[in-house]
Amino acid sequence: MNKIVFRSKVLLIFAVLAFGFSSCNKNRITDEVESAAAQNLNIAEIEDDNVQIMADEAEANGEVSDLRLSKPIDNSPVDLITGCATITKDTLSVPKKITIDFGNGCSNSRGVTRKGKIIVTYTGRYKDEGTEIHITSEDYFVNLNKVDINRTVINLGENTNGNLEFDVHSERSVTFPDGTNSSSTFDKIREWIAGDNTPRDFTDDVFSVTGSGTHTSKRGIVYDVTTITPLIRKLSCHQFVSGEVKIIRNGNIARFGVINFGTGECDNEAVITLDNGRTISISLVH
């Protein structure tokens, strides 16, 4: 089972584009407002990552409390998920099944409350070529946001570099407390470029991600998303550490933006360059 999914913060640009292209008033909209709207849109991407992490840890260790990532600033460990979920593993079913049940509410040390279930089915061992993993959510909430995820991962075997590759198709949507909704669909290739020799230690893993997809914002605006250079994700960091993604408003190729995740260091910022030359620094903290 793949240990991390396309945890891209590319959705952070969607709100920027929506605001930046919407009217002649765009210059009056502050970066703070753009960033706040982008954080809401980004919930789908964050939780798509988190359910994969939970599924991997539940399969490997039988719980979702051990996985710890380093804070980019002070390097102190924090629990990413929580230790109060109930894990049920059914190895007799075909395919095999894992249920992660947060019950009616389960909070972690960061004050994030989850409830509902994550259900994982898998046809074979994570590292075996051809293994297929399917992850879905059932009445799953993160705080007050309902998150629906339907994710399929297929092990493609080793590539020419000798690294495992995984084909990922992910559909997710977030319904906010006010009844609005955002959704996205992505197809990606994720290459496991470091850490595969320590299957129970998640923090030394590094992945390279390429792919494309679409995102529909809360305002109903559709965006096409494509990686320009591979996104590099170290699991010892909260964010992508390098790579670029291009976001184009669907049907209007003149309206685009490029988000750059940096040069390889753990940090909380990305830089967006819009088609008009305007650059915006965005916080990736969530």
The three-state (H, E, C) secondary structure of the chain, written as one string: CCCCCCCCCCCHHHHHHHHHHHCCCHHHCCHHHHHHHHHHHCHHHHHHHHHHHHHHHHHHHCCCCCCEEECCCCCCEEECCCCCCEEEEECCCCCEEEEEECCCCEECCCCCEEEEEEEEEECCCCCCCCCEEEEEEEEEEECCEEEEEEEEEEEEEECCCCCEEEEEEEEEEEECCCCCEEEEEEEEEEEEEECCCCCCCCCCCEEEEEEEEEEECCCCCEEEEEEEEEEEEECCCCCEEEEEEEEEECCCCCCEEEEEEEECCCCCEEEEEECCCCEEEEECCC
Q: For residue 233, is it within any domain?
A: yes
Q: For residue 257, is it within any domain?
A: yes
Q: For residue 205, is it within any domain?
A: yes
Q: For residue 1, is it within any domain?
A: no
Show the domain range for 225. Answer: 12-283
Categorize the per-residue pLDDT at 274 as very low, low, confident or very high, splitting at 50, 70 and 90. confident
Residue 69 has pLDDT above 50, yes or no: no
Closest by CA position to 98, among listed 116, 128, 118: 118
**Total number of domains in the chain:** 1
Tokens of 161: 């570099």
Across 136-165, average pLDDT: 93
Task: Express each pLDDT in 220-259 by its tens digit.
Answer: 778 888 899 998 988 777 678 899 988 887 777 777 778 8
Q: How far apart are CA 241 and CA 226, in angstroms?
A: 17
Q: How far apart are CA 95 and CA 285, in angstroms?
A: 37
Q: For residue 277, is it within any domain?
A: yes
Q: How far apart are CA 44 and CA 103, in angstroms?
A: 21
For the full predicted model, state whether its pTM sits above 0.85. Answer: no
Q: For residue 136, is it within any domain?
A: yes
Q: How far apart are CA 208 and CA 192, in angstroms?
A: 7
Q: For residue 6, is it within any domain?
A: no
**pLDDT at residue 112, as a whole number:** 76
Q: For residue 31, is it within any domain?
A: yes
Residue 23 has pLDDT above 80, yes or no: no
**pLDDT at residue 22, as a whole number:** 46
